[in-house]
Structure 1
Amino acid sequence: MRPSISPLRQSLSSVSFGDLKLHREFTQTMTSRGLKNKETSETNLRKESGLSPLLVKALAKRLDKPAPSNELIRLFVMTKKEWKLLTMATILLLISSAITISIPYFVGELIEVVTTTVERMALAEGGGELPATPQEDIKIIGLELETFYFVAIGALAVCSLANFGKMFLLRLSNERMTARLRSLVYSKLIAKDAAFYDVIRVGDMVARLANASNAVARSFTLSTADGIKSIFMGGVGLGMMAHISLELTGIAMLVVPPLGFMMTVYGNKIKIIAQQSLGSVAALSRITEERLSAARTIQKLAGERQEIHRYNDQLRVVFDAGKRDGFAVASFTSWTELAGNITMLTLILYGGQLIMESSLSIGELTSFLMYAGYVSASAMGLTNFYTEIMKGAGAVNRFMELYDWQTNIKPTVGTKAPFILNSTPPEIEFRNVKFAYPTRPNSLILPDFSLKIPAGSSVCLVGPSGGGKSTIASLLLRYYDPVEGQLLLDGVEIREFNLRSLRKTIGVVSQSPGLLSDTIAENIAYGMEEKVSREKINQALAMADCQFVHELPDGIDTEIGPRGIRLSGGQRQRLAIARAIVRQPSILVLDEPTTSLDMNSQAAVNLALDNLLCRGNATTIMIAHNISTMRRTDKIILLNNQGRIIETGSFNELVLNKDSLFRKMYLDGMHGYMIEDFVNNRKLLPVHAP
């Protein structure tokens, strides 16, 4: 009997890919639970998780394109463009390390010369046979003392310059790689389809871009250099130790097997902790970003205390992850230091015994102990290197998970539509469209929607909330693709067109204007390929009834703040209309542009909409609940709460027809005003509804 898949279903139903397992672990989980091939995986995912076919297919693509079995390989591949700098840094590192590792040898030689000279002087003073060596005849590696001194200073200066070059190149490489990784993933994120943003939270993405990218870059630049240095100095040091005394080297090597075992256990543990730490930091960033952006709402509902508790709870999770990391590092470091100190003490005692037996000289023991110290430091360096590499391996999957996500809608694939080239409005047709959001696959928003909108005409979609009106606009903008059916522009399937060029011909004014933290001029000209002149911007502002702009101190160069927060709701909507006007769109989407505005703001926005609609060179879809906005379109499309069309006609036809569902629906909302007077645009007088 196949094991239960409910834990997997639970993780997938939340569709939080920030919390999904790494590709390899996810695939192993699928296999262990009986899902052994792609076809079976797709079938069971769709059946057990309740996800939509599109989302299941995206997951299947991820499973069909697994990450490398060893994360270290992927880290190595990602540094390919930095190999030149890293090679130069490595050469400088080897130069400085070679000079540094030679110091114990020369110190030993110096001690040998000094002890030999002292012994000869003592014998000479005591009447011995050996005469004292004149100072000018004392030589180290064939050099007189004064010459040796200046050569040593020169070598140390070269070592210092090599260290400078190495550190600068490594830091430069680290910064370049961090910037490249962030740019690479950001360029992918900005082009992801709407389904991606339905399941990945912005705060999580920000945390991964900021933290995981730096961890990945550091693990294979700065940390790799430390690892190479440790390997080189440890290997040479160990060789010199063996050259000086095989017995002492054998004693020192007794500590290697237990330390190797401890390093393996520690590395696996630190990798897991690193993943947990990055995940908890990402969750904290997500909470911070979401809650601070909704600060006014929180204050309005007196939820400050609740949010402080929420933040502190997550902060405690971050703290606990850091505490586990600190405990693991402290445990491993303390045990390795203890083992190193015991080994060093053993070497000193046994080395002293060898000196007394005349098997070893004082200079040789001194050199041996210094090399042992270097080897010990190199072992610690390798431990740190291994730790950073494991952290990088944990970070690379969290970071590249964003990059690897397979987007179903490709913005740069397809041809440019003829109506785009000719700047003419297209005919829009929805043909037997079925659609459900990927995160709610069992709830069909549009069960079987068909509608043809003639080129250059305007329709208004009305009906209860949840009836699919905004969904229709989203399909036209191709945030999503229909599950079944077709969306045609001039008789051609919308999937055939280059999405990026298509969207450039669509003007959008929505309930939320979507303004950016920039100047008014930059917001109006945003997304245009060619530079928009200030004259055209001012013309668009005039058509959108934006006289208020000229009353601002900096005019169109005024900074409007995040989401245009420094402007009123009506002002933001009129700027959005000006942005649509300057694009000269072939398709116009107006999604409840006057909702939540006061009467004066609605009047100003409606005037701007009149100027936009009177251009007559765009096929327009409007979504509205406000009667004064509805009546500006050629045709009304009434939908029920199941996404089906139940009535169509012009505004006047529907309102004057006493049997019209539209009339009954909106008569109830007019609180007893005479509909005929509204149709004739006369002053409204209160009456009793029949």
Structure 2
Amino acid sequence: MGKRPVKKLSTLFQLIQFMRPYRRYWLGAMVALLLTAAITLSIGQGVKGVIDNGFIAGSTEQLNQSILLLIAMSILMAAGTFIRFYLVSWLGERITADIRQAVFDNIINLHISYFETNRSGEIMSRLTTDTTLLQSIIGSSFSLALRSTVTTSGALIMLFITNVKLSLIIMAGVPLILLPVLLFGRRVRVLARKSQDSIADVGSYAGEAIQHIKTVQSYHQQTYESRSFAAQVDNAFTIARQRISQRALLMAVVILLVFGALSSMLWVGGHDVINGVMTGGDLGAFVFYALIVAMGAGTLSEVYGELQRAVGATERLMELLHAENEILPPQTVQDITPLKARLSLENVTFNYPSRPDQSALSDFTLDIPEGKITALVGPSGAGKTTVFELLLRFYDPSKGQVCFDSADLRQLDPQQLRQQMALVAQQPALFTANVMDNIRYGKPDASEAEVIAAAKAAHAHDFILQLPDQYQSDLGEQGVRLSGGQKQRITIARAILNNPRILLLDEATSALDTESEHAIKMALDNLMQDRTTVIIAHRLSTILHADQIAVLDQGKVVALGKHAELLKTSALYARLATLQFQEH
């Protein structure tokens, strides 16, 4: 998924762009971080005072003062830590929310063909799992990395101030520590990306099975789906185990090297104290700073793996954010308002991106007059749905042009174009919301009275009143709480409320029983008056009174006329009619 690879440095730079609007919060977090780091480093001098002035000098007063100083520094450090943790965690939540919104805003406007080649489950995983991971890392791991970097750097400086010889022993181990961090870190980053992809596969598979749960259970395929899902889970676990083992090995190697250097330093320092070269307080302070360096190095090695996961997650999100929409308005947009609601396809050839070698339409020409009813009939795969998708400019033709009046659709703003049309699909599309919101989707600013009027026109008002909360009744996911006919009437009410100039009906009555079908036909007859209407008809009885019927076969118009004419002039139409009407 994603056609253009995003480089690591570029990815991190783009992540920083989302941080820029919150400079004040970052500044506050940095001030708190520096304060706590300074106090942490000062504690080392407090330890030195406790040992030299308290224990060794035997002064109770100086011991009490040193302890009180340590307590005061601890209180300040606790306050600074609270501020730093709150601000960084807030930033993690806020930046992640901004990224999630930006990615969704880009996805929702992408061309339809993008979703042919990219699974919805994969996209959802990036929007949810990857952003959640990013939030955790920015709000926690990134904060730890900053704190460890600052305190470790400061502790190294204090080491040299306290004792140069011992510091050189510590520094000799730094290259040995950095080498495994760089070596294992690269592997962790690759495995982190694979791990996120495998988790996306798991979510995508589960989502598809749940979405088609009725089919799964009706064919008694629960065992098969469970085994297939287990294979996906095991694959994700295997990749995660490899990533964890690399991180665990990295941490173990770093800890071994750090504490090896620390042990060497203690051995040399212990001899210096015994020989009077340095005081016990200096050694105590030095050990304190060395422990900070050791813990900091250990934390950095652990967090480094998390940051590599952040890079992988960010790469996946940035691929979505920078996916380009191929259906865009031109630089100079032609106003659609004065144009007539007449449509035409002129010598159109079109191949779906997922099937580049197979033409859905070939040298296709059809004129759709304003205010008339045009029906499209033909066998499955003839190109009927493709015509709708080109009229809505979900795709652009490979050759030829699709026109709204005299204007090529590519000269119009896609949003303005689609505002002129209302689509009633064969499979009703409802959202997880109540009845009112689902109908109002066609006109968000419509009043309640307008919604009810549209429902009455679609003959949906009566069954809506029988729902538990009437127009406020929640319909469940994809309208699962309604029958097929009820769903279709809701979508027809949505189209009626939209009051378009052009209607696109994909066998709008196909999901209805006989009684509902008759009522809907009456509503559609009223709705279609003085509107340009294009109907995909699977049942010829629904289009007997169409102004023109286009017979499609293998992506071409093979006949055009009215019902009675086509029975005589088109063998294909006559055969379709015979098959459908012979029982009657």
TM-score (norm. length: structure 1): 0.81
Task: Note closer, same or farther for the CA distance 1:473–1:407 as it changes in structure 2 (3 Å cut).
Answer: same
Where 2:57 maps in the other structure, the secondary structure is helix
Aligned to 2:564: 652
Aligned to 2:198: 280
Q: Take 2:415 and 2:382, find their aligned partners in 1: how far apart are those partners? A: 28
Q: Take 1:252 and 1:263, find their aligned partners in 2: how far apart are those partners? A: 17
* Cα deviation 1:521-554 (Å, max 9, x = unaligned): 111111425x211211121111111221122232
- State the number of aligned residues: 583
Q: Take 2:570 and 2:307, find their aligned partners in 1: how far apart are those partners? A: 74
Output aligned runs, 1:498-577, within 5 Å: 498-529=413-444, 531-546=445-460, 547-577=462-492
Where 1:572 maps in the other structure, the secondary structure is helix
2:578 to 663, 667, 680: 667
Output aligned runs, 1:617-636, within 5 Å: 617-636=530-549
* Superposed displacement of residue 147, structure 1: 5.0
* Cα deviation 1:305-341 (Å, max 9, x = unaligned): 1110111001001111221122112111122222233
Amino acid at match of 1:509: V
Output aligned runs, 1:145-184, within 5 Å: 146-184=64-102
| Deviation larger for 497-506 or 293-302 | 497-506
* Cα deviation 1:658-686 (Å, max 9, x = unaligned): 7654223311332254xxxxxxxxxxxxx
Q: Take 2:336 and 2:131, find their aligned partners in 1: how far apart are those partners? A: 42
* Superposed displacement of residue 271, structure 1: 0.3
Contact 1:252 1:347 (C-alpha < 8 Å) held by counterparts: yes
Where 1:645 maps in the other structure, the secondary structure is strand
Amino acid at match of 2:295: A
Where 1:516 maps in the other structure, the secondary structure is coil
Where 1:23 maps in the other structure, the secondary structure is coil
* Superposed displacement of residue 472, structure 1: 0.2
Contact 2:346 2:364 (C-alpha < 8 Å) held by counterparts: yes
* Cα deviation 1:113-171 (Å, max 9, x = unaligned): 134424xxxxxxxxxxxxxx7x5xx54xxxxx555544443332221111111111111
* Superposed displacement of residue 501, structure 1: 2.1
Amino acid at match of 2:19: T
1:332 to 246, 250, 253: 250
Contact 1:594 1:626 (C-alpha < 8 Å) held by counterparts: no
Where 1:79 maps in the other structure, the secondary structure is helix
Larger radius of gyration: 1
Q: Take 1:520 and 1:411, find their aligned partners in 2: how far apart are those partners? A: 33
Output aligned runs, 1:185-196, within 5 Å: 185-196=103-114
Q: Take 1:73 and 1:579, find their aligned partners in 2: how far apart are those partners? A: 44
2:5 to 23, 44, 60: 23
* Cα deviation 1:594-653 (Å, max 9, x = unaligned): 33544344334323322322xx2321100012122112421111111x111111111233
Where 2:363 maps in the other structure, the secondary structure is strand
* Superposed displacement of residue 239, structure 1: 1.8
Q: Are 2:499 and 1:584 aligned?
A: yes
* Cα deviation 1:276-323 (Å, max 9, x = unaligned): 110000111111111111111111111111110111001001111221
Contact 2:330 2:410 (C-alpha < 8 Å) held by counterparts: no
Q: Take 1:622 and 1:539, find their aligned partners in 2: how far apart are those partners? A: 24
Contact 1:570 1:601 (C-alpha < 8 Å) held by counterparts: yes
Contact 1:413 1:499 (C-alpha < 8 Å) held by counterparts: no
Contact 1:560 1:567 (C-alpha < 8 Å) held by counterparts: yes
Output aligned runs, 1:138-149, within 5 Å: 138-139=61-62, 146-149=64-67
Q: Take 1:362 and 1:148, find their aligned partners in 2: how far apart are those partners? A: 16
Aligned to 1:377: 295
Q: Take 1:534 and 1:587, find their aligned partners in 2: how far apart are those partners? A: 24
Output aligned runs, 1:299-310, within 5 Å: 299-310=217-228
Q: Take 1:211 and 1:310, find their aligned partners in 2: how far apart are those partners? A: 21
* Superposed displacement of residue 573, structure 1: 1.1
* Cα deviation 1:25-82 (Å, max 9, x = unaligned): xxxxxxxxxxxxxxxxxxxxxxxxxxxxxxxxxxxxxxxxxx5755333333332223
- Percent identity of paired positions between Structure 1 and Structure 2: 29
* Superposed displacement of residue 473, structure 1: 0.5
Contact 2:340 2:404 (C-alpha < 8 Å) held by counterparts: no
* Superposed displacement of residue 416, structure 1: 6.3
Q: Take 2:253 and 2:448, find their aligned partners in 1: how far apart are those partners? A: 70
Aligned to 2:273: 355
- Could you list the runs of 5+ residues in structure 2 that have no partner in the other structure? none
Contact 1:417 1:502 (C-alpha < 8 Å) held by counterparts: no
Amino acid at match of 1:169: L
Amino acid at match of 1:501: Q
Q: Take 1:108 and 1:360, find their aligned partners in 2: how far apart are those partners? A: 12
Contact 2:49 2:281 (C-alpha < 8 Å) held by counterparts: yes
Output aligned runs, 1:227-626, within 5 Å: 227-410=145-328, 415=333, 417-419=335-337, 426-529=341-444, 531-546=445-460, 547-613=462-528, 616-626=529-539
Contact 2:329 2:411 (C-alpha < 8 Å) held by counterparts: no
Contact 2:329 2:410 (C-alpha < 8 Å) held by counterparts: no
Task: Note closer, same or farther for the CA distance 1:629–1:477 as it changes in structure 2 (3 Å cut).
Answer: same
Aligned to 1:84: 24
Contact 2:39 2:73 (C-alpha < 8 Å) held by counterparts: yes
Q: Take 1:94 and 1:69, find their aligned partners in 2: how far apart are those partners? A: 26
Q: Are 2:34 and 1:94 aligned?
A: yes
Aligned to 1:7: none
Q: Take 1:446 and 1:290, find their aligned partners in 2: how far apart are those partners? A: 30
Amino acid at match of 2:582: H
Where 2:424 maps in the other structure, the secondary structure is strand
Contact 1:577 1:608 (C-alpha < 8 Å) held by counterparts: no
- Could you list the runs of 5+ residues in structure 1 that have no partner in the other structure? 1-16, 25-66, 119-132, 140-144, 674-690
Contact 1:436 1:443 (C-alpha < 8 Å) held by counterparts: yes
Contact 2:152 2:292 (C-alpha < 8 Å) held by counterparts: yes
* Superposed displacement of residue 23, structure 1: 1.1
* Superposed displacement of residue 221, structure 1: 4.9
TM-score (norm. length: structure 2): 0.95
Aligned to 1:126: none
* Superposed displacement of residue 217, structure 1: 4.4
* Superposed displacement of residue 410, structure 1: 2.2
Q: Take 2:180 and 2:12, find their aligned partners in 1: how far apart are those partners? A: 20
Contact 2:336 2:416 (C-alpha < 8 Å) held by counterparts: no
CA RMSD of aligned residues (A): 2.1
